[in-house]
Amino acid sequence: MKRITTIEEYHTEYAKSVKNPEAFWAEQAADFTWRKPWKEVLEWNFEKAETKWFVGGKLNITENCLDRHLANRGNQTAILWEPNSPLEEARKISYSELHTMVCRMTNVLAQNNIKKGDRVCIYMPMVPELAVTVLACARIGAIHSVVFAGFSAKSLSDRINDSECKMLITADGGFRGNKTTPLKDIADEALLSTPSIETVLVHKRTEQNINWTEGRDKWLHSELAKVDANSVATEMDAEDPLFILYTSGSTGKPKGVVHSTAGYMVYADYTFRNVFQYKEGETFFCTADVGWITGHSYIVYGPLLAGATSLMFEGIPTYPDAGRFWEIIDKHQVNIFYTAPTAIRSLEAAGLDFVKPYKLDSLRVLGSVGEPINEEAWEWYNHNIGKGRCPIVDTWWQTETGGILISPLAGITKTKPSFATLPLPGVQPILVDSDGKEIVGNGVEGNLCIKYPWPSIIRTTYGDHERCFTNYFATYKGLYFTGDGCKRDEDGYYRITGRVDDVLNVSGHRLGTAEIENAIDEHPLVIETAVVGYPHDIKGQGVYAYIICSGEIADEDKLKKEINETVTKIIGPIAKPDKIQLVKGLPKTRSGKIMRRILRKIAENDMANLGDTSTLLDPDVVADIVKGRV
């Protein structure tokens, strides 16, 4: 696959991709291993939320991630695994070893009755076996649904049930910092209400005591011992679903975003090579968890498609101390490092003493993802980690987009702190006002939409296509709506300003306000809740919950602790409110709608801009809330 190498070339390629998208993407797709070529490059209709790429093409993505590399780079490291504890040895898995592991794992799936189209849920720590199970699903044609191992039993069972997964793959436990997460115990609780699960495969990691359900539970290592390493990949249609990944929206339960095979493959590879300007033999370290889209596209699929060495880290940035990322970079001579602004800000807060012991001279490119990066964090990253010589790529994208849409090309696009800069070839952004009218020209701001499909656009929301249409294609006719606000400056550079809907971005994790409100409402003393986001120095956004309780509360601290426990139990610790304010009433319009705008201003401590409160049902509640602000 060709890589853009100059800014002039970027502009030519971009122009080509807009003038004739089909020819452009056919050219990018040519170098992969196809069992049968496609008949049509693209069929689409945004008014039905329908997109098909490489129609009629047949392939298996794992032949492109693994088999195709065996001849040239069989001995090169594919996955370089760094354990949670620096005292445990790192693992280097070559392309040929990874191929063997995936083939065996595929045979385990087959022996356990998994067939093409079945859904398999994966709830695992960040160990190589996680990547292996993901790839084995893809090889047999089962649809993987990875659930981040920080989610609660309730979140896990909801996700399993929504897509009726037949199998769960988990581990006894996971190591994170000085904690162990009892993954099997959590899974057991989830499995009390998941009738579709037939088999549970358990990877041994922590060796902690676990409960066992005979007939259902099987040790992964015993299953692997029963099979050989011969596996022929299942032939998949270009549009067969590859995976489901659940993500939060402004309403309802998290939805299962579905990505399909060929378009996702072509786009993950294209963006990996171009954005990071990946060069043969380099080591790429993405700090995300495979439980998020960033891990799917830029730990597993993108780097392996490109034949890179992908560093997978089991632990957390602050264990044993806040120098861990920098230690790993030196130890493994990392060339490209990709992390989230929230991590940068927290490591900045820990102080430069944790950075100073390390050389960081192997680094060539730095990346940022998941939330807007503020100028201050950008400068710190640039100066102290990149030593002023590594281009920073601020990559904007979403679970639904499958890959990076707006980003500099490392070392090619002139960067500007806090700007994601320019759309990648094949991506046609458009800013619209609230009526859906296009905002033309530069030096403008609006809602960010995309007007033409790119290969890894969301195909559907699992089991409910209407929801996909309503969420993304109904707000503005004929456009994909991102949910983000955006500025386009005088140079035509894009700067994402944040969500314009009721979605929060807390430490780069996406959470719906409604989802958190519903969880809090489960506490027996809670009558009503309103959740908003507010600016948080480290997390980007914090969660502020206004709660009405029944009766007099004798011990507020105890209640707040219980509310946090309730949220942890229903969603997971990432959704815990940072601030809880008990209130007597909420600002509502006469029709009963909560005026979140006012609550947001109070949470932000911006009392001068509360706006008109006279139309409220009871204007006095606002003064009370302002007085009790926490």
Contacts with ligand WT7 by CB under 6 A lie at 247, 293-294, 369-372, 394-399, 420, 482-484, 496, 498-499, 505, 510
Dist CA 257 CA 549 (whole Å): 35
Greatest alpha-carbon pair distance for the chain in Å reads 74
Minimum CB–partner distance for residue 416 and ligand WT7 (Å): 13
Q: Which is nearer to ligand WT7, 315 or 403 (CB)?
A: 403
Output 234 or 277, the one with its CB closest to ligand WT7: 277
Closer of 141 and 403 to ligand WT7 (Cβ): 403
Q: Which is nearer to ligand WT7, 329 or 458 (CB)?
A: 458
Q: Are strands 309-313 and 119-123 parallel, antiparallel or unpaired?
A: unpaired
Query: At its nearest, how many Å lie between ligand WT7 and the CB of residue 348?
Result: 18
| 372/512 with CB nearer ligand WT7 | 372
Among residues 346 and 395, whose Cβ is nearest to ligand WT7? 395
103, two tokens? 């083939």
> SS3 for 190?
helix
450 contacts 424 by C-beta, under 8 angstroms:
no
Q: How far is the CB of 404 from ligand WT7 (least distance, A)?
A: 8
Query: Smallest distance, Å, CB 446 to ligand WT7?
Result: 15
Smaller CB separation from ligand WT7, 14 or 292: 292
C-alpha dist (Å) from residue 464 to 161, 162, 256, 513: 14, 10, 9, 21
| Nearer of residues 234 and 471 to ligand WT7, judged by Cβ | 471
Whether 228 contacts 117, CB under 8 Å = no
Nearer to ligand WT7, 285 or 546 (CB): 285
Torsion sign, CA atoms 243, 409, 486, 596: positive
State the number of CA atoms in the 13 A half-sphere of 430 facing the CB: 19
Contact partners, residue 157, CB within 8 Å, separation at least 6: 189, 190, 191, 192, 193, 194
Question: Smallest distance from the beta carbon of 510 to ligand WT7, in angstroms?
Answer: 4
Nearest to 151 by CA among 180, 131, 113, 124: 124
In whole angstroms, what is the distance from residue 456 CA to residue 458 CA?
Answer: 6
Q: Taking the complex as a whole, how short is the minimal distance between the CB of residue 148 and ligand WT7, in angstroms?
A: 11
What is the closest distance, in whole angstroms, from the C-beta atom of residue 44 to ligand WT7 in the complex?
A: 22
Q: Least distance in Å: CB of 509 to ligand WT7?
A: 7
Q: Shortest Cβ distance from residue 172 to ligand WT7 (Å)?
A: 28
Alpha helices (H) in 20-89, listed in sequence order: 21-29, 61-65, 70-73
Residue 53 beta carbon to ligand WT7: minimum distance, rounded to whole angstroms: 20
Nearer CB in complex with ligand WT7: 28/505: 505
CB 449 within 8 A of CB 429: yes
Rounded to whole angstroms, how far apart are CA atoms 540 and 560?
Answer: 22
Residue 279 tokens read as 């060069």
Give how far the C-alpha of residue 185 lies from the chain's centroid of Cα atoms, to the nearest Å.
25
Give the shortest CB-484-to-ligand WT7 separation in angstroms. Answer: 5
CB of residue 481 vs ligand WT7: minimum separation in angstroms?
A: 11
Least Cβ distance, residue 410 to ligand WT7 (angstroms): 14
591 DSSP assignment: T
Beta strands of 56-157 (E only): which ranges? 58-59, 77-82, 91-94, 119-123, 143-146
CB 247 within 8 A of CB 131: no
DSSP secondary structure letter of residue 500: S
Residue number with CB closer to ligand WT7 (74 or 498): 498
Beta bridge partners of 509: 506
Q: Supply the minimum distance, in Å, between the C-beta of residue 546 and ligand WT7.
A: 23
CA distance 438 to 460: 26
Distance CA 537, CA 397 (A): 22
C-alpha closest to that of 218 among 153, 161, 169: 169
Comparison of 316 and 553: residue with beta carbon closer to ligand WT7? 316
Q: Report DSSP state, residue 455.
A: T
CB of 491 to ligand WT7, least distance (A): 17
In whole angstroms, give the CA distance from residue 486 to residue 448. 6
Residue 397 three-state SS: coil
Cβ-based nearer residue to ligand WT7, 408 or 577? 408
Question: According to the 3-state scheme, what is the secondary structure of 445-463?
Answer: EEEEEECCCCCCCCCEECC
Contact yes or no for 150/573 (Cβ under 8 A): yes
Of the two residues 86 and 498, which places its CB atom closer to ligand WT7 in the complex? 498
**Do the beta carbons of residue 382 and residue 428 sit within 8 Å?**
no
Residue closer to ligand WT7 by CB (options 262, 458) is 458
Task: Enumerate the β-bridge partners of residue 200.
Answer: 168, 217
